[in-house]
Structure 1
Amino acid sequence: MKMLIGLCGLILVLLSSVTAQLQKHPVDVFSQGSDCTEIKRRLPESRSGVYMIHPAASRIPFKVFCEMRPDGGWTVIQRRTGDKVSFRRNWASYEAGFGQLTGDHWLGLEKIHWLTRSKRTTLRVDLWDHEGGTAYAEYKNFNLGNRNTAYELHVGRYSGTAGDAIRGEKYEMDQNGFGFSTSDRDHDDCDPCISGKITVSECAQSDGGWWFSRCGSAALNGDYHESGDHIGMKSGLHWRTWKKPTPYSAKATRMMIKSE
């Protein structure tokens, strides 16, 4: 009986200690790393899936989907594979994030800002077409400004096979350095805006939330278009340096980041 009482007392002490640690350092107990890159570096055998992370700039931990590849752990910030999740959302939704991490989703502007604030980060955009082809674009030194800058986009050197659509190449629609726009928060650089042959008051009306200049050649959050209805659409999943000159809506897209 004394042994049982002693064991119960020990358990109570341990529970009390754990509770105190949770109250004092809740993030340290639950987070598995500051980002997916760190998790993969610590645990090379880690598989792709949902993990809890705690970026240094964030006060709280949050879950992300980690794409664990031979070249490191990548934190997925956007995924599109169909039309089950609507990307016609307002500013509050894009700031907080929406969708399911294991499926189509947008991680959230504030979380992306936290992830890129204190580390040098590479952005990778993966694209799938309706004919079985793929392409990618990578940008060094990717980061977002804070809420006061409307999460202004900054990217560095480009490499890849899809073309530098963010800077627009010959389209002269450089989106680098612009804030994020939604239908209820306009930060583009045109009035009126021309989307294809359509005149609109703002780019986000036809292409969903994005970093627009003058409805530039990159916009991956527009309406989803199935095969057979994906060419010539004014709204869609556009990366126009990849499929040109006619607007082409991709079958699937993925945006993810990796820290150095």
Structure 2
Amino acid sequence: MSVTLITGASSGLGAEMARQLAAKGEDLALCARRTDRLEELKAEIAAAHPGRRVEVRALDVNDEEQVFEVFRAFASDFGRLDRIVLNAGIGKGAPIGTGMQHANRQTAMTNFVAALAQTEAAMEVLRAQNSGQLVMVSSMSAMRGMPKATATYAATKVAVARLVEGLRVELYGSPIKFTVLYPGYINSEMNPEGTKAPFIVGTEKGVAAMVEAILKEKGSAYVPGWPWAVLGPVMKVLPVPLLRRMV
């Protein structure tokens, strides 16, 4: 039975990933700041899938020492970690130069600097095992520079994708696998019901595409595949006036 660690698992995409992976037979190591929600999720999964083992721990990903402590503790709990999904992140931000530098800095620190710490802690575990899969949740916004409040967010999502791609090159041929997910618009706390966004899909449908890519150990995946597998390459070359209409 495989074990999957998920950060940012208390709500949104992380919580739904936990539900769907449990349904597919995965044991789970779940961490987030909101432990009350983690406990509720653990109880929900236990009721739906009594055979699943779920362990939960508090984690503020901006606390680097705690990141290493939690990842090591989960590895000790289960004896191994087969998959580590780096999902925690925030969507704050404002147009650059409009007096909201603190919001953009918080996004950069959480979505990249904290993601780097998580990657370090994850790779410590996976290198020691010489096995497992690292999954990074990036974004379709990583395809191009994005305007206004999305500018810093998009930049962090490029950075985390390249971080994992570098590891893939370094460890090519090893038993350790790497997956970068590029989600389009999916309902979550970041994109709640009623959000007007191109091709937005419900949480369950969007996460099902993410889980499929994870379990198939795809190197990278636009999720859901339609229409983002088509739009992703197009976004990279789209003239700026047309790109502005998409965002």
**Normalised-by-shorter TM-score class:** under 0.3
Which structure's residues are more often strand, by fraction? 1
